[in-house]
Amino acid sequence: MSALVGLDVSIRERLRGIVGAEHYSDAAEDLYCASYDATLEQARPEAVVYPASADEISRILRLANEAGFAVTPRGSGTGLSGASIPVAGGVVLILTRLNRLLEINADDLYAIAEPGVITQTLADAVAKQGLLYPPDPGSMKSSTLGGNVAMNAGGLRGLKYGVTADYVMGLEVVLPTGEIIRTGAYPVKSVSGYDMTRLMVGSEGTLGVFTKMVMKLVPRPEHCESMLAVFADMAAAAETVSAIIRAGVIPATLEFLDNVTINCVEDFKHVGLPRSAEAILLIETDGVREAAQREAEKIVAICHGHRAAEVRRAADAAERDRIWEARRAALSALSRVRPTTILEDATVPRSRIPEMVAGVRKIAATYNLQIGIFGHAGDGNLHPTIQTDQRDTEEMARVEKAVDEIFALALSLQGTITGEHGVGLVKAKYLKDEFGEEGVRAMRAIKRALDPNNVLNPGKMFR
């Protein structure tokens, strides 16, 4: 990273020549807008460019290798790990002009999109043809598909449908050295060569820039049933999650809110959540009408059998919306309480959720912090959310220690440091705790092989 250089006048001129003067900027406000994401991290680039094609991106990366400056890809900047922050200065490559939805193929069940397409735009377009694009991150109204693929974003439907990686059939990628390659295939099956698609998915803009993506679609389920189950103790809620799966039912969605989160949501949205509950589970089944209904009945019985104090089943779309409003509002509700919100995504096997929740509570008590917990119970993907104040240095020191302990706890429970938000900047220091020096060395070797001059998104993933 230290070998990288700044942008001199001639490099800036050549960048303008590649993208056109109107798609290049070094105005302070544009540099500021490319300097942050949804974390507390910030760093300014020296220029931003808005390329319109793979060829322009290839020429920018060839120039970066020749001159030695850093290039950081950026979608909508909604990331929760600092992965898009240009810590080495240089150029930010903003991919929002590449925003065409090129094809929806209802026979072969795929869509071809450019990376700047907003996730919700794809979901809406395929829904009109009776199809479903399942990955539904909470940020889907603003995140780009390129950002989703780069971070392997998850969402509420992860339990039944999987994450973004499960829906990427192929990519067009500009490699860090400027060559343009194609990965994957259009048929549902292909075992041709190394699985470069899987390598690229989740690579956080460090191994290549995606310029076209073939995304898998599925038929839209005919019907869904939503439920809300209230628990007076955490262990009962967690046991219910395991019991549902053991009974052979895989709900589309199985979400969890703890008591802190329930009360913040209630203060904010007044949706009628029981304030004294220790935990609630929000559950949805989908599929053929009769099957979704039968599964819902099974789930209601399991909840009652596991000491649920109350189970509400949505009678109509309005009631369903009210149930999901509670989950959609969780992060915003927790964020209103203190000036700074730190959202983590430590993830454990779902059977270890009770230990994880108890451990996070103990950590909160040890460091005298308010931590709400919500998340994708079915995936074991919890979001301990710390309500704090960045300006209070003493409190932030306690927050840092608490975060270290949360990740150590997740790893001790056979978990992972990140279920969906990625490593980026903020979790780079924990990567070797998960994979060891050797594991990280193997990852670095891949990075070096594809990016020998370390120009593409340097300073991320590894520390």
Binding interface with ligand FAD (CB under 6 A): 37-38, 72-80, 83-84, 95, 115, 137-139, 143-144, 146-148, 150-151, 153-155, 204-205, 209-210, 331, 420-421, 457
How many whole angstroms separate alpha carbon 152 and alpha carbon 135? 10
Nearer to ligand FAD, 352 or 460 (CB): 460
Nearer to ligand FAD, 100 or 275 (CB): 100
Nearer to ligand FAD, 45 or 73 (CB): 73
Nearer to ligand FAD, 143 or 388 (CB): 143
Nearer to ligand FAD, 15 or 87 (CB): 87
Nearer to ligand FAD, 398 or 462 (CB): 462
**Across the strands, what pairs with 131?**
219
Residue 110's Cβ-count burial label (10 Å; 0-12, 13-18, 19+) is buried
CB of 83 to ligand FAD, least distance (A): 3
How many whole angstroms separate alpha carbon 52 and alpha carbon 62? 16
Could you tell me how many residues make up the chain? Answer: 463
Picking from 4, 18, 133, 145, the residue whose alpha carbon sits closest to that of residue 65 is 4
Nearer to ligand FAD, 45 or 354 (CB): 45
How many whole angstroms separate alpha carbon 264 and alpha carbon 266? 5
Helix (H) or strand (E) holding 385: strand 381-388
CB of 77 to ligand FAD, least distance (A): 4
Describe the crossing of helices 431-450 and 393-412 by its angle, rounded to 10 degrees: 90
CB of 166 to ligand FAD, least distance (A): 13
CB of 411 to ligand FAD, least distance (A): 20
CB of 119 to ligand FAD, least distance (A): 8
CB of 109 to ligand FAD, least distance (A): 22
Nearer to ligand FAD, 302 or 326 (CB): 326
Nearer to ligand FAD, 302 or 346 (CB): 346
How many whole angstroms separate alpha carbon 315 and alpha carbon 323? 11
Are 69 and 4 in contact, with CB atoms under 8 Å apart?
A: yes
CB of 420 to ligand FAD, least distance (A): 3
CB of 115 to ligand FAD, least distance (A): 3
Are 170 and 105 in contact, with CB atoms under 8 Å apart?
A: no
Nearer to ligand FAD, 119 or 285 (CB): 119
CB of 73 to ligand FAD, least distance (A): 4
DSSP class of residue 311 equals E
How many angstroms separate the most distant Cα atoms in the chain?
Answer: 72
How many whole angstroms separate alpha carbon 237 and alpha carbon 233? 7
Own/partner pairs for 361-366, CB < 8 Å, 24+ apart? 363/402, 363/405, 363/406, 363/409, 364/402, 366/402, 366/405
Ordered alpha helix ranges (H), 34-182: 54-67, 119-127, 145-151, 158-161
CB of 220 to ligand FAD, least distance (A): 21
Q: Hey, what are 258's tokens?
A: 């703890």
